[in-house]
């Protein structure tokens, strides 16, 4: 059946159709619907408090799965490791961060210290990365907190960079960004002729607009 999978849907930004899509693609999903430790995506830290001896996966809700996407959930992991997708499109030499929050896999007992660190002062951490200029508000910084904390005690490992890409819509990506992105993929294309490169497993939709629910209906993703 694969590892347990956790995802967060709180508030009214995302409707039940987002859950329906993920449930249709991924088995064994547990939904976190209450903001019990913080605001919105900060509740993705909740599985770190589980007292279990098996790895779990945590995913964002604003994603689409394509091609051989189960490779993500089946990616090998050992105790003491933390596996995640990475932001290959960012200049990580400048901001120092690579972890992308769309997909994570870890052993909860290895990460309990991260959970405890956050719940000891959630208001401080929810504002920390906004105040220091790493990101902007109103609610952000969770993935930076996780990366900094993982590096304190664990071995941070990334799935192949090509497995995940950011995406917004075709009008946005009919731009210099897509031209630059193409060189990161075999055959030098990320998206061509209505198809994504077969190396892509996960599309992470970023920004205020989430057009993927419409795109899924049209293209069957």
Top pLDDT among 1 and 65 is at: 65
DSSP string over 155-213: EEEE--GGGEEEE--HHHHSSHHHHHHHTTSGGG-SEETTEE-TT--EEEE-SS--THH
Q: Which one, of 87, 134, 79, 86, lies nearest residue 107 by Cα?
A: 79
Phi, psi of 117 (to 5 degrees): -60, -40
Give ∠ CA 56-61-67 in degrees, rounded to 5. Answer: 80
Is 70 exceeded by the pLDDT of residue 1? no
Instruction: Indicate the average pLDDT of the chain.
Output: 87
Each residue of 153-188: pLDDT tens digit? Answer: 999 999 999 999 887 655 555 567 777 778 778 888
Instruction: Give the C-alpha separation, 172 to 176, whole Å.
Output: 10
DSSP string over 78-146: -TTEEEEEE-TTS-HHHH---EEEEEEEE-HHHHHHHHHHHHTSHHHHHHHHHHTTSS-SSS--HHHHH
pLDDT at 175: 64
Q: Are 177 and 193 in contact (CB under 8 A)?
A: no
Burial 41-74 (b: 16+ CB within 10 A, else e): bbbbbbbbebeeeebbbbbbbbbbbbeebeebbe
Is 70 exceeded by the pLDDT of residue 219? no
The total of other beta-carbon atoms located within 10 Å of residue 118's CB is 21
Top pLDDT among 188 and 86 is at: 86
Greatest alpha-carbon span in the chain = 50
pLDDT at 69: 96
Average pLDDT over residues 52-75: 95
Phi, psi of 5 (to 5 degrees): -125, 135
Q: Which one, of 106, 220, 103, lies nearest residue 164 by Cα?
A: 103
- Write down all domains in the chain, each with its CATH number in brackets: 4-162 (3.90.550.10), 164-219 (no CATH)
Please tell me the pTM assigned to this model.
Answer: 0.89
Each residue of 93-139: pLDDT tens digit? Answer: 546 799 988 999 999 999 999 999 999 999 999 999 999 988 888 88
Each residue of 181-212: pLDDT tens digit? Answer: 787 788 888 887 778 899 999 998 876 556 45
The total of other beta-carbon atoms located within 10 Å of residue 130's CB is 15
């Amino acid at each position: 059946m694969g590892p347990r999978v956790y995802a967060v849907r709180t508030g009214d930004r995302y409707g039940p159709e987002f859950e329906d899509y993920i449930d249709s693609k991924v088995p064994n999903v547990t939904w976190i619907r209450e903001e019990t430790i913080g605001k919105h995506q900060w509740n993705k830290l909740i599985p770190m408090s589980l007292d279990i001896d098996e790895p779990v996966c945590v995913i964002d809700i604003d994603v689409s799965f394509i091609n051989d996407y189960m490779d993500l959930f089946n990616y090998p992991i050992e105790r003491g490791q933390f596996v995640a997708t990475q932001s290959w499109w960012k200049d990580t030499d400048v901001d120092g961060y690579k972890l992308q929050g769309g997909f994570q896999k870890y052993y909860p007992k290895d990460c309990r210290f991260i959970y405890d660190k956050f719940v000891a002062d959630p208001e401080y951490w929810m504002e920390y990365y906004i105040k220091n200029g790493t990101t902007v508000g109103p609610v952000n910084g969770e993935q930076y907190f996780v990366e900094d904390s993982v590096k304190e005690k664990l071995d941070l490992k990334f799935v192949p960079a090509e497995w995940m890409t950011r995406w917004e819509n075709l009008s946005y990506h009919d731009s210099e960004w897509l031209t630059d992105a193409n060189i990161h993929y075999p055959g030098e294309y990320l998206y061509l002729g209505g198809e994504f490169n077969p190396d892509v497993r996960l599309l992470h939709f970023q920004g205020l607009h989430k057009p993927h629910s419409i795109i899924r209906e049209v293209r069957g993703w």
